[in-house]
A and B are shown apart, each in its own frame.
Chain A
Amino acid sequence: MDQLDQAGFAPQSDAHELPFVFTGTAREYFGIWIVNLLLSIVTLGIWSAWAKVRRERWVAGHTILDGSPFEYDARGIQILVGRAIMLLISIAYVVTFHFFPNLIWIPLLVVFIVMPLIVNQSFRFSARVSGWRGVRFDFKGSYFKTLGLIALPIAYVLTLGLVAPLGSRAASRYLAARFSFGGRQFETRPPLKRLYGVLGRTYLLGIVLLIPLALSIAGITFHVITTQEIGTTPEPPPLLILALGASYFLFIFGIIYYYSISVTNIAVNHLTLDRRHEFTSRVSPLRYLWIDISGWIVTALTLGLMHPWAAVRRWRYLTAKRTVIADGELDGFDTGRPRSGRGFFSGIGIFDGVGIGF
């Protein structure tokens, strides 16, 4: 039986829940990943653009909804041009930073002004090359709203997170409204109350994760005080330093992951397409954090060779936790192909994936 029959369902006429199914295996991805890496190195990075296309196509093609796979249609050359431009910008920035530190404000200002354009173009490109059953996504960004979106994290940090739910609600409403599928609009109205609930739980998690961090700091301080001799520099044992690093890492990523995944769940659970189809997302932040961290530990221990296994594990989990609640048939979409335009800024890869990554 071919994969489509295994993953699909017979269409019915009532509202029904359609799961996303990820059919890719680590084994298969390993071959693709290894060849991508080798060719990229041998071609000094030029192949990396085509490598990205192959990877995106593989992930999209193994994501099945109602028996049909997702599609990713970018051409390698578009991504290459985008990456080349980003590389030139980075070099200009580093040269200035290294040799002309006084003038650093010039490239920073330019980047700041140009960033919303880059982000919007990047979203638009990724959307227009992604599709399902021949129907394409689209994105129409607004310069100032995207500028606001980029500046949000600053506000979060300044207010210790208190305005984060407001920002998340505004961000998800803005983004959803600007994406479309086959000419039909997405929309989401996540309730503020639930978002603040997430914030509260994030604070609690933060307090819990502060404990190992505080213990590490206390341990190091204790060690320094008891072994310090005048005139020498303290040398805490490497194990304590490792513990400090790990607990700091865990604290930062723990609260970021918990908040952003929970908020994304809420946004997706209130997402609608064409005002009739709905979506669900039941990703567990802690489970996902565990999958991500354990994946990275295994990858590091195997010098990177287990990366395909870790990646497939992540994708499979995320896909399995999302569904579409279709109102009747999934139809009525325009099948015309919008021009994917100049993929100049797709090299940033801000938007990876197909609406599953909101």
Chain B
Amino acid sequence: MASASGSEAASQRTIVGGAFFPAGSVRREPAELRIGDGGVTLHRDGETVAVDLAAAIVSDRVGSIPRQISFADGSRFETGDNDGVDALLAAAGRRRSVIHRLEALRPWLLVTCAVLCLAIFALVRWGLPAASDFVANFIPATTEATVGAYALDAFDKSGEMKPTRASQRDIARATALLDELVAAHGGDPAAFRLIFRSGRGGIGANALALPGGTIVVTDEMLARATDDDALAGVLAHEMGHVAERHPLRIFIRTLGIGAISTIAIGDAGTIGTAIATAAGVGLGMSYSREFEREADRHAAELMRRTGRDPRALGRLLLLIAPDGSDPTGGWLSSHPTSVERATNLE
């Protein structure tokens, strides 16, 4: 039977050709369903019977795939004539699929594409960070502190950090600088806790902020930062991470990226998943860089308030990693390059 397209034609259909399968059998017989004045009838093998469409299960329309109608007695009718089935449904007073109309309307598709691209862009750029930060607000400080304690424990056990060998004088110097910065920062002094480790296990001259407000400074960093202003810069930078709850927020954002890519690349297969994962990692690193810049800005502000020179941190960074310390440069690293950061601190 010729299948016409368009809803006007569908409403005039009276014959739907297809295959009939008696209950329990998979042998197909040619058959027709006809819409008449008395309702819908099935014609096969010379016989005509009335059928009750209201009690039948009709498969949903998806594109142009063939439809199945399962009757109450277990028999089935298959047809590729989608418009015909829609006409049957209309005759029985049943609705047509809304989703299908959305999928089939051509001009809508281009609009949908454009909206989709914009939506994805907006989501990734603004929506995801905003939503993640919103979620972060609900994590209580005590949970964060507990988590930070576990993380520190794990770090210590991993061997990357070892017990500190710094002199009492260096420790006192760093602690005094922190107290000065905390006073200038305002807020709760108990929110920041300074501890020391040796970086000889692997992390070298470094400083990090853990969830809950613990700042770790390594002996090697103390040794390099002979200039008080530079050390204060490092501490101020880490205080920035603590104040803005960066460790927690980055974690939640990374979760979000993972969830979104899984949804979007649903039927991708192995190669697609690999690409999506790589893109997700790249995105996670760009969030990292955003936070590092934020912490640098925080540091610069704090330095100005205490009357110290913000550029000292920039000089220290260039000392530790003169050429940027990452051959592939900005995009693939989790920190902006040292050069970039030094320039921003000017």
Contacts and interface: CB of A to CB of B under 8 A. Distances in A.
A221 to B, nearest CB: 14
Contacts of A253: 270-271
Nearest to A46: B263
B187 interface: no
A15 B299 CA distance: 81
B116 A3 contact: no
Interface in B256-313: 258-260, 263-264, 266-267, 269-272, 275
A296 B275 contact: yes
Given A4-B66, A24-B63, A31-B103, A100 B327 contact: no
A3 B66 contact: yes
A337 B344 CA distance: 68
A86 B158 CA distance: 30
A134 B18 contact: no
Interface string B105-135: 0000100110111011001000000000000
B119 A41 contact: yes
B109 A134 contact: no
Nearest to A61: B65
A296 B68 CA distance: 34
Interface in A22-70: 24, 28-32, 34-38, 40-42, 45, 48, 51-52, 54-55, 57-58, 60-62, 67-69
Interface residues of A, number: 68
A144 interface: no
Chain B interface size, under 10 / 10 to 19 / 20 to 34 / 35 or more: 35 or more
B91 interface: no
B80 interface: yes
A333 B26 contact: yes
Interface in B150-172: 150-151, 153-154, 157-158
Nearest to B3: A2
Given A35-B112, A71-B68, A311-B267, A2 B1 contact: yes
A223 B52 CA distance: 78
Interface in A335-354: 335, 352
A85 interface: no
A4 B18 contact: yes
B275 A38 contact: no
Contact of A38 (B23, B80, B116, B323): B116
Contacts, number: 165
A335 B26 contact: yes
B150 A31 contact: no
A292 B272 CA distance: 10
Contacts of A305: 113
Interface in A226-247: 232-236, 241
A2 B81 contact: yes
Contact of B26 (A55, A58, A232, A330): A330
Residue from A2, A3, A87, A293 having most chain B Cβ neighbours under 10 A: A2
A38 B150 contact: no
Given A38-B112, A41-B119, A232-B323, A51 B266 contact: yes
B255 interface: yes
Given A102-B157, A333-B26, A38 B266 contact: no
A55 B109 CA distance: 17
Nearest to B102: A35
A68 B264 contact: no
A101 B158 CA distance: 10
B96 interface: no
A162 interface: no
B257 to A, nearest CB: 11
A94 interface: yes
A98 interface: yes
B119 A87 contact: no
Interface in A106-162: 133-135
A90 B255 CA distance: 9
Contacts of B240: none
Contacts of B117: 303
Nearest to A48: B263
Contacts of A57: 59-60, 62, 65
Interface stretch (B5-13, B71-79, B188-196, B214-222): B71-79
Contacts of B79: 2, 4
Contacts of A48: 263, 266
A87 B66 contact: no
Contacts of A67: 19, 28
B26 A54 contact: no
A41 B113 contact: no
A28 to B, nearest CB: 5
Residue from B68, B104, B123, B158 having most chain A Cβ neighbours under 10 A: B68
Interface string A302-343: 010100000100000000000000000111010100000000
Q: Sorted from nearest, which 5 A-B pairs have the closest CB atoms? A: A61-B65, A2-B80, A3-B80, A31-B103, A45-B263
Given A45-B260, A67-B19, A305-B113, 5 more contacts: A38-B119, A41-B264, A101-B154, A232-B323, A292-B271
6 contacts: A34-B112, A37-B264, A48-B263, A57-B62, A67-B28, A134-B26
Interface of B: 1-3, 17-19, 21, 23-28, 59-60, 62-66, 68, 70, 74, 76, 78-81, 99, 102-104, 109, 112-113, 115-117, 119-120, 123, 147, 150-151, 153-154, 157-158, 211, 251, 255, 258-260, 263-264, 266-267, 269-272, 275, 323, 325-328
